[in-house]
Amino acid sequence: MQFSAAQIGLMINGTIEGDANITVGSFGKIEEAKPSQISFLANPKYEDYLYTTEASVVIINASLVLKAPVKATLIRVPDAYSAFATLMTKYQEMAANQLTGIQHPSYIASTATIGESVYIGAFAYVGEQVTIGVNSKIYPGVYLGDRVVIGDNTTIFPGVTIYKDCVIGNQVIIHAGVVIGSDGFGFAPQADGQFTKVPQLGNVVIEDQVEIGANSTIDRATMGSTIIRKGVKLDNLVQIAHNVEIGSNTVVAAQTGISGSTKIGKYVMMGGQTGIAGHLSVADGTKIGGKSGITKSINEPNKSVNGHPAFDYTTSLRVQAATRNLPETEKRIQALEKLVAELLSERVKP
């Protein structure tokens, strides 16, 4: 798809400097871009590339004062990074909208309800009484169990498995290999040392505008629902256990695990490889450093924590610094002990 600088300017409410009729058809990093590509400059560290780039169009901040002539056509906006992201999103949507219809071979139950302008890729399985909303995209190899509900404008990439009775909202993006609604890890210990499986009879509810990274897993509830609220963003390889609830606009980085029945608040940020024990609560706005272990509830909103077990972020940094100095500290303590012993021996002499 080709777009002129003038058309792009209208899409992102930008001001054109240069040839408004020049066209571009793809994206490129400012230091590598070629003619007929569009790029952006948001980080001042890359400003030198603005004067040498081969890109035909560059999106820049309105406040940027040029230090030298620029060959590219410029589009000035209040926030270049946000505008470029908006542009790429619109481009992706336009490309996706070209996908419609049902490819074969695929299986679609006669009781399924399929909305308008839906795409269903080859080898997809759509079970009994499934509902798929308008303009949603179901890529090849997706499995939708019985009574699954998919909202409007939702994209489910190849190899995703969604078990029966789960509900997916509008404008959700689910990346390849995700499993939603598999059984929660529930086993009852017996007197003879064996474990009896506890049936997992609930479901998973994913609200609107959620994005789930590749190969993440979200377990169905024992009873009720595991709930991912509106606007949550999960990275790749995230494990969400049964009956967890994640509040709106929370972001979770890769390889994080959240144990069963834990309640995560709104606007929480979790670094990679965070582990959270079960039946806890995490307050709104909490920031958790990478590789932290949460072993007790965090009840104070907007608190930053770090470490294992996690505690106040600033204190944890001081502890880390002190830990690095332990060998030297040990030597000083030994020297002080020796000095004290010598002073005491001097005092007891006749």
Q: Tokens for 297?
A: 């509830």
Rounded to an integer, what distance in angstroms lies between the CA atom of residue 37 and that of residue 91?
13
Question: Of the candidates 279, 286, 324, which has an alpha carbon nearest to the alpha carbon of residue 306?
Answer: 286
Residue type, 307: G
Q: Is 104 a catalytic residue?
A: no
Pairing of strands 137-138, 225-228: unpaired
Neighbour-count burial for 326-338, b at 16+ CB within 10 Å, e otherwise: eeeeeeeeeeeee
Q: How far is CA 199 from CA 94, 128, 182, 241, 250, in A?
A: 43, 22, 11, 14, 29
Q: Which of 104, 175, 242, 308 is catalytic?
A: 242
Sole residue written with tokens 């909208």:
97
Tallying the residues shown for the chain, one arrives at 350
Q: Tokens for 54?
A: 């081969």
Rounded to an integer, what distance in angstroms lies between the CA atom of residue 57 and that of residue 4?
9
The residues assigned a catalytic role are: 242
